[in-house]
Amino acid sequence: MSRSPPARGWAPPPPPHRLRSLARSWLDEDAPWPDAAVATVGDSAVRAQLLSKGGGDSGGVLAGAPLAEAVFGVSGCRLSWRVPEGAALPPGQVLVAEVEGPAAGVLAGERVALNILGRCRGVASMAARAVGVARAQGWAGVVAGTRKTTPGFRLAEKYALGVGGADPHRGGLGGLLLLKDNHRALAAAAGGLEQMILGVRQAGGFTCRLGVECSSADEALAAAGAGADIVLLDKLAPQELHAAAAQVKAAHPGVTVEASGGIVLGTLPEFLGPHINVVSMGCMTHSAPALDFALRVLEP
C-alpha cells in the first residue's frame, strides 16, 4: 500500500524486503508452532478496527504503520489507514485503521502489530516532545537519538525517531567512525590519539565521518586538532559544556559539536546553546513509554 510521507517528521520506511524479513521474524517469535486457538477460527473473511487508546493529556504521534502493515501482510491481511503516519493523535480512543483478511491471519498478526505500534508511538511521541522543547527555546540544531535501542527492534525505533522529527543518529557501528572513552583508553597502544584517528580513517575509508567522545575542553581541542569531524562532549555540566564548545568552535569552526550524556526532557534547555550543533538523547528510545493500541474484530 502506498503512503505519503509522515505528517510530522519525514522518515523513509525500511525497504520492502527488510519489512517482510522483520515481520516474519517477529511473527516467528510469537508463533513458533501452531496456535490451536487461532487454527479453530478458520479462514473466513473478517474485518477489524485498529484503535489507539489512552495517551494521557495527549494521544501522542502515530508511528510504525509500515511495520504493522508488513506484519498483517505476511499473515495474509490488508490495512486501510484512517490516520496518516506522523499525525498527532487526540487522547482517548481513536480509529486509526481497519484490517481485512482471513480470521486466522488477523488473530495471528494482532499482538505483534499492536506491540510495534505501541512502541513506535511512544518513541515518536517523546521525540516530538524533545524537538518541541528545543524549538520553543529558539534553538535550531539537531535533536538526535543514540544506539540505546531494543535489540532486534533498532530499525523500528530509529524509524520512529524520524517520524517524531528527531534525527535517528547512526544506525549501527558502521554508520559513523566513533571513538568512545574505551577506544581512547587504548590510544597510547595505537601511538597516540592522532595516530589512532589516522588509522581509523584509513580503515573506514573516505566516505565515513569520524567523531571522538571527549570529557573536557582539552580533550575536545586535541581531538579536533587531530582531525575529528565531530566532537562529542559527554556528561559535562551545562556551564562546562558551553565553555568547552565555545573553545572548540573558536579554534575549529568547521567541527560539529555534539552534547550527550544523561540529557532528558526536563534538562534539555540547559544543554542548548549557540556553539552546540547536536544534542543526542538516549532517553527517547530506552525510556519511551509504550502507548496502547487495541484491535476489535467486528461481528459479521
Q: What does the pLDDT read at residue 281?
A: 98
Q: What does the pLDDT read at residue 2?
A: 45
Q: How many CA atoms lie within 13 A of 192 on its CB side?
A: 6
How far apart CA 110 and CA 105 sit, in angstroms, is 8
Same domain, 149 and 251: yes
Tally of CB atoms within 10 A around 142: 17
Contact between 99 and 79 under an 8 Å Cβ cutoff? The reply is yes
Q: What does the CA dihedral 270, 272, 276, 282 come to, rounded to 10 degrees?
A: 80
Same domain, 94 and 178: no
* Eight-class DSSP state of 188: G
Residue-level length of the chain = 300
Task: Please identify which of the residues 53, 148, 180, 249 carries the catalytic annotation.
Answer: 148
Same domain, 246 and 151: yes
Q: What does the pLDDT read at residue 1?
A: 46
Classify 105 as helix, strand or coil: helix
Same domain, 173 and 147: yes
Contact between 248 and 221 under an 8 Å Cβ cutoff? The reply is yes
Cell 582539552 belongs to residue? 218
Classify 131 as helix, strand or coil: helix
- Phi then psi for residue 124, to 5 deg, are -60, -40
Task: Classify each residue of 64-90 as buried b or exposed e, where b means 16 or more C-beta atoms within 10 Å of its C-beta.
Answer: bbbbbbbbbbbbebebebebebbbebe
Q: Domain holding 56: CATH number? A: 3.90.1170.20
Contact between 62 and 84 under an 8 Å Cβ cutoff? The reply is yes
Is residue 2 in a domain? Answer: no
Q: Where are the alpha helices (DSSP H) in the chain?
A: 16-30, 36-39, 65-74, 103-136, 154-163, 181-184, 193-204, 217-225, 238-251, 283-286
**Known active-site residue 148:** yes
Same domain, 70 and 108: yes
pLDDT beneath 70, residues of the chain: 1-8, 10, 55-57
pTM score:
0.92
Task: Classify each residue of 4-21 as buried b or exposed e, where b means 16 or more C-beta atoms within 10 Å of its C-beta.
Answer: eebebbebebbeeeebee
Given CA atoms 143, 149, 155, 160 in this order, what sign does their dihedral have?
negative
Number of domains forming the structure of the chain? 2
* 100: β partners: 47, 78
Same domain, 148 and 264: yes
Contact between 243 and 260 under an 8 Å Cβ cutoff? The reply is no
Same domain, 94 and 193: no
Same domain, 147 and 264: yes
How far apart CA 120 and CA 26 sit, in angstroms, is 15
Output the CA–CA distances (angstroms, integers) from residue 67 to 14, 190, 276, in the order listed.
9, 43, 34
Classify 292 as helix, strand or coil: coil
Is residue 10 in a domain? Answer: no
Q: What does the pLDDT read at residue 41?
A: 87
Same domain, 170 and 127: no
Q: Which residues span the domain enclosing 101? A: 16-134+289-297
Contact between 154 and 190 under an 8 Å Cβ cutoff? The reply is no
Classify 62 as helix, strand or coil: coil
Q: Report pLDDT digits (tens) over 166-200.
A: 999 998 888 888 998 888 788 777 778 888 888 88
* Eight-class DSSP state of 65: H
